[in-house]
Copies of this chain bind each other. A is one copy, B any other.
Amino acid sequence: MKVLMLNLFFVTFSFAQAGLLPLPDRAPSPADNPTTRAKVHLGQQLFFDARISATGTYSCNSCHDISSSGENNLRNSRKPDGTFSRHSVPTVWNSAFQNAYFWNGSAASLEDQAEGPLEEMGLGDTGRVVKRIAQIPGYQSAFAKVFPGETPAVSLPHLTKALAAYERTLITPHSPFDRYAKGDAQALDARAKIGLDLFISVGCVTCHGGANFSSAELKRFPLFPGTSYDGEAANYRVPTLRNIEWTAPYFHDGAVATLEGAVDIMARAQLNHPLKPDETAALVAFLKSLTGEPPSQRLPRLPKLSSPFGEN
């Protein structure tokens, strides 16, 4: 018993000392946008509403798929205006625990982030998105209830606040790593435990830390030559590694199809530490232990349109 407890203590201590944390059950909310049940519900409706796109077929969920990986597993995504995104879509799962949004880290909060996709809905500017939402009677009353006394009730800041409040609930708990971090020594198998040790010792944890295996700071990539990214160095936000097994293809350009390939490139480009095949396999086993359980949720019902927008 004493040995077991010492062992547990040691394990917990080592990854906690390295800065890795289990995923919280709830995300904190900013002082100016407290999470409320009604706001989350409104945000979910907006997230699933394709009426915010020029084509009427794109919602937030079209690219950040809540039924799936929180993204779309594509290199680039065709946008409502027919053009393709330059970068691979990041997952919305656990985005509450990110500190930098978009691949270039140009947004510092979920509220700021939400403006970006709204601008890409093919309606020219976000003003037309707001106008469409304001034209739906059920949204008028819902916004007035969620943001009492603030006029106009339907506004871009209110849209992004509601979307952010919903996104803060998109948390995937109960991954094997989280169960391990909370004391279940059996939650990781031997190979994944070797992978965790490697993750810390070779330096992955330097950038991929905290509860979300991410970082608040932008990082230069690549740092070392010898990969297909030579000569393309730029500063990127650090993507979460949670559910990474489920979010192929990898990197900002979605050019890498497998987790093994991504680990190999990161080890060389960022750590100048080429891995042996069994080390890569152990790291991949550990990374797969970061796959959590998306919460079950009800499909929202969207408020009815009183008359069509008269555009396609």
Chain B residues near A49 (CB, 8 Å)?
A: 67-68
Instruction: Confirm or deny: A6 has a beta carbon within 8 angstroms of a beta carbon on chain B.
Output: no
Query: How distant is the Cα of A249 from the Cα of B299 in the complex, in angstroms?
Result: 24
The one of B75, B80, B298, B304 in contact with A298, judged by C-beta atoms closer than 8 angstroms, is B298
- Stretch of A55-63, A93-101, A147-155, A271-279 contacting B (4+ beta carbons < 8 Å): A55-63
Chain B residues near A157 (CB, 8 Å)?
A: none
Quick one: given A63-B57, A84-B312, A307-B258, are A299 and B302 in contact (CB under 8 Å)?
no
CB distance from A125 to the nearest CB of B (A): 20
Instruction: Confirm or deny: A203 has a beta carbon within 8 angstroms of a beta carbon on chain B.
Output: no
- Contact in complex: A302, B68 (CB < 8 Å): yes
Instruction: Confirm or deny: A77 has a beta carbon within 8 angstroms of a beta carbon on chain B.
Output: yes
Instruction: Confirm or deny: A248 has a beta carbon within 8 angstroms of a beta carbon on chain B.
Output: yes
Interface SS of chain A: loop
Q: How many residues of A contact B (CB 8 A)?
A: 48
Chain B residues near A249 (CB, 8 Å)?
A: 308, 310
Instruction: Confirm or deny: A202 has a beta carbon within 8 angstroms of a beta carbon on chain B.
Output: no
Chain B residues near A294 (CB, 8 Å)?
A: 301
Q: Which of A72-122 contact B (CB under 8 A)?
A: 72-78, 80, 82, 84
Query: How distant is the Cα of A126 from the Cα of B68 in the complex, in angstroms?
Result: 22
Chain B residues near A76 (CB, 8 Å)?
A: 312
5 cross-chain pairs, A with B, having the tightest CB-CB distances, nearest first: A55-B78, A56-B74, A57-B62, A68-B302, A249-B308
- What are 27 A-to-B residue pairs whose CB atoms are below 8 Å? A45-B67, A48-B67, A49-B67, A51-B73, A55-B77, A56-B77, A57-B58, A57-B78, A58-B62, A67-B299, A67-B300, A67-B301, A67-B302, A68-B301, A73-B308, A74-B308, A74-B312, A75-B312, A78-B312, A82-B82, A246-B304, A248-B307, A257-B307, A257-B310, A258-B307, A296-B301, A298-B299
